[in-house]
Amino acid sequence: MIAKLLPIALLAAGLHAADDWPQFRGNPQLTGVATSALPAALKLLWTYDAGEGIQSSAAIADGTVYVGVESADLLAIDLATGKLRWKYHAKDGIDESSPLVHDGVVYVGDIAGTLHAVRTSDGKVLWTFKTDTEIRSSPVFAEDRIFIGSYDGNLYCLSVKDGKVLWKFTTTSYVHATPAVSNGMVYIAGCDEIFRGLRISDGKEMFEFPSGGYTGASPAMEGQWAYFGTFNNDVAGADLARKKVAWRYENPERQFPFYSSAAVSGDRVVLGGRDKVVHCLNAKTGKPFWSFATKARVDSSPAIAGGRVYVGSNDGHLYVLDLATGKKLWDFEAGSPLSASPAIGGGRLVIGSQDGKIYCFG
């Protein structure tokens, strides 16, 4: 009987791993699309009080939630129960840098400019790498390498084994956004108003073009397209085959920056704006499909699962919207701004709030 059950258990473990949300935006292309299904009607399953504000978005891997806290703590919390497994204290506060989990290690950056590689089993540090100033970018893994941006103006490519620099690329301003990885390339939309494509193997710049604005949002990649909002109060759809911005969208009534990173699914691009609105745009033309108004800025980056959009707002609400129509299906009042982004994995949604509460729904 044990021999017969073993393959089933391994299969289940494999399916669970496929349901993970191991990094910011869920995958190296930063699409914000979950592989895990959520119940049609969400229920609050547990909360955890981290003590200080949370702007870092959670990662979910192998039944554990990893969250960075402004207190400088990296928390590992049991996804099923909400119980703390371990706590690792970084050098300085963890702000917007969100954890990456890969092969038994969790990586996260702090405001002191240090990237930490911590063992998932017990929270023991394996190595650290120091940049010259703060890290708000989230780490991304590809081809045995870790990619991370720093406010020192560099995008770093590090060995996953020991954190040694394999190459770095220097821009002319902060690298705030998380890099996206696709088809042997790493892409950054920089604060220097330049969109770049670099070769993973050696960091050689393969192309660049003006992004049209200071960019804090991370690019979402779909095929040969990249989507990102700017501080020039618009959203850009970039055609990488033509190496140019193909379309721009701005709210015709209210001009505010777009800080939220986009989610992209099929022909739809969804992101929040500091105009207090969630926007859904046509991926090829930038024409609006729908918009949904909240009561405060939307810096939270949406997640998409099962034809629904999940997004926080600084009005303190978590919203569930229909992807096709933008109709509100459900909301939860946390009572404190939700600028962190939802993570969806293992059939559950996790999001942290600025008052230090972590919420798990399923």
Q: What is the DSSP code string of 232-270? A: TS-EEEEETTTTEEEEEE--SS------SPPEEETTEEE
Residue type, 157: C
Number of H helices, E strands in the chain: 1, 32
Whether residue 241 is predicted with pLDDT greater than 50 in this model: the reply is yes
- Rounded Cα gap, residues 302 and 319, in angstroms: 10
| φ/ψ bin of 143: left (φ > 0), alpha (ψ from -120 to 50), beta (otherwise) | left
Q: What are the strands of the beta sheet with 100-102, ordered from one edge?
A: 100-102, 105-109, 114-119, 125-130
Residues 6+ apart with CB under 8 A from 231: 213, 214, 215, 216, 257, 258, 259
Spacing of C-alpha 201 from chain mean position = 24
* Per-residue confidence (pLDDT) for residue 14, from 0 to 100: 33
* Per-residue confidence (pLDDT) for residue 11, from 0 to 100: 32
CA neighbor of 135 nearest in space, from 175, 179, 189, 89: 175
pTM listed for this prediction: 0.95
* pLDDT tens digits for range 174-224: 999 999 999 999 999 989 999 999 999 999 999 999 999 999 999 999 999
Whether residue 8 is predicted with pLDDT greater than 80 in this model: the reply is no
Q: What are phi and psi of 8, to 5 degrees?
A: -65, -40
Core vs surface per residue 296-312: b (16+ CB within 10 A) or e: ebbbbbbbbbeebbbbb
Query: pLDDT band for position 73 (50/70/90)?
Result: very high
pLDDT, mean over the chain: 94
What six digits make up the tokens of 297? 């800025």
* pLDDT tens digits for range 16-68: 368 999 999 999 999 999 999 999 999 999 999 999 999 999 999 999 999 99
Q: What are phi and psi of 156, to 5 degrees?
A: -105, 140
Whether residue 3 is predicted with pLDDT greater than 60 in this model: the reply is no
What six digits make up the tokens of 246? 């193909």
* Per-residue confidence (pLDDT) for residue 5, from 0 to 100: 35
Q: What are phi and psi of 7, to 5 degrees?
A: -60, -35
CB 229 within 8 A of CB 262: yes
CB 296 within 8 A of CB 333: no
CA neighbor of 281 nearest in space, from 268, 298, 272, 291: 268
CA neighbor of 236 nearest in space, from 220, 256, 252, 253: 220
Strand partners, 352: 358
Percent of the chain with pLDDT over 70: 95
Percent of the chain with pLDDT over 90: 94
- Rounded Cα gap, residues 240 and 188, in angstroms: 12
- Rounded Cα gap, residues 145 and 158, in angstroms: 6
* pLDDT tens digits for range 111-162: 999 999 999 999 999 999 999 999 999 999 999 999 999 999 999 999 999 9
Whether residue 163 is predicted with pLDDT greater than 90 in this model: the reply is yes
For the chain, how far is it from start to end, CA to CA, in angstroms? 32
